[in-house]
Structure 1
């Protein structure tokens, strides 16, 4: 009986330690075709990710980055503004967030663009067209966000507590409880 109770507690504790945030949707939706270029992209999770370390990338068919501005985390939605998308074709939104349990969550979704954005300066505003800045990272410190390939890479650590620590603690606690019950019976 005590062994069954210990096993149940261990399994329940191990399950909660591995509950990472899960993507529930994106805008544009994964695999969708959009008629015009979005001005912002977003990824939605089942829990609210930590705002620190959140990164989104938007990479076009030519491999160029198109995210611009700061990444924002509002409730369960992580978003970033997008610059002009000059080519029709497939775009990849790469994401890397620190989940509510402290572990990194990475991956990517794609969408197809049917009609590219108008080139910068194409509108007749009377102002001369300016060249786009060389740094499309959207980060004020000049650092580039992770590429979709890097975002989908292996977990390199996030500063959170690894799940195995919770399992070890649970085993020690359950083992101590079992030893205490057996000792009292003797």
Structure 2
């Protein structure tokens, strides 16, 4: 009887040790790559840069064309919006390809994207020097949410708002919110190129 008890304890301790090793190894393995598509590839201006002259628009380049109901804003140092609508621009070749992953037969496979699809966000005026933030919310072709920000410092001259212009107050369209609600974000971080 005693030998069975010793054997059972021995087996149990070996199982616990094996489980601990398995857990430790799994924590050391890299996380599975995200399957997000449509991410921000680059922007003009780049995040973290200094802008010294007023720009007519902010260019956000994605790995696929943003959804037609995508929402873009640009806010100034005081938090007020200075954006004045957006439009699609001409796609351009990216200086540095962007890698995204796709699930193929149960395995994540990398795919390189060499083309950026722009959203051109018009800026109505530059009220003051300071930190500006361009924010975006869209949905990719795979249904994943694409959201994030590009921040930069403006050190140029202040410019007046156009006559009759008022800061926009609209938010994302309800149809866009319904699409992205509950989906993970495809925002791996700001581009550095």
Structure-2-length-normalised TM-score: 0.55
What is the root-mean-square deviation in Å for CA atoms of aligned residues?
3.1
* 2:146 alignment counterpart: 105
Which has the larger share of helix?
1
Kindly state the Cα deviation for residue 120 of structure 1 after the two structures are TM-superposed: 4.7
The answer (yes or no) to whether the contact 2:45–2:59 under 8 Å persists in 1 is yes
1:49 equivalent to 2:90? Answer: no
Corresponding residue of 2:10: none
In the TM superposition, what is the alpha-carbon distance from 1:41 to its structure 2 partner?
A: 0.6
Pair 1:158–1:145, CA change in 2 (3 A): same
User: Which residue of structure 2 lines up, in the alignment, with residue 6 of structure 1?
Assistant: none
CA distance in 2, matches of 1:91, 1:16: 31
For residue 158 of structure 1, what is the aligned residue in structure 2? Answer: 179
Unaligned runs of 5+ residues in structure 2 are 1-31, 92-116, 185-193
SS at match of 1:68: strand
Partner of 1:58: helix, strand, or coil?
A: strand
In structure 1, C-alpha distance between the alignment counterparts of 2:161 and 2:60, rounded to whole Å: 26
Q: 2:80 aligns with which of 39, 42, 64?
A: 64
Question: Do the aligned residues in 1 keep the contact of 2:42 with 2:61 (CA within 8 Å)?
Answer: yes
CA 98–60 in structure 1, closer or farther in 2 if over 3 Å, else same: same
- Structure 2 distance, partners of 1:31, 1:102, is 29
How many angstroms apart in 2 are the aligned matches of 1:159 and 1:55?
Answer: 12
Check whether the contact 1:31–1:110 (CA below 8 A) recurs between aligned residues.
yes
Partner in structure 2 of residue 3 of structure 1: none
Alpha-carbon distance in 1 for matches of 2:154, 2:34: 39
Q: Describe the shift of the 1:31–1:159 C-alpha distance in structure 2 as closer, same or farther (beyond 3 A).
A: closer
Q: Which has the higher contact order (CA 8 A, sep 6+)?
A: 2
Q: Is the CA contact (8 Å cut-off) linking 1:104 and 1:157 kept in structure 2? A: no
| Other structure's SS at 1:106 match | strand
Residues in 2 aligned to 1:104 and 1:92: alpha-carbon distance in whole angstroms: 19
TM-score, structure 1 normalization = 0.56
Q: Which residue of 45, 48, 69 maps to 1:31? A: 48
Partners of 1:72 and 1:30 lie apart in 2 by 21
Partner of 1:73: 88
**Cα distance in 2 between the residues matched to 1:18 and 1:24:** 15
Residues paired across the two proteins, number: 124
| SS at structure 1 position matched to 2:179 | coil
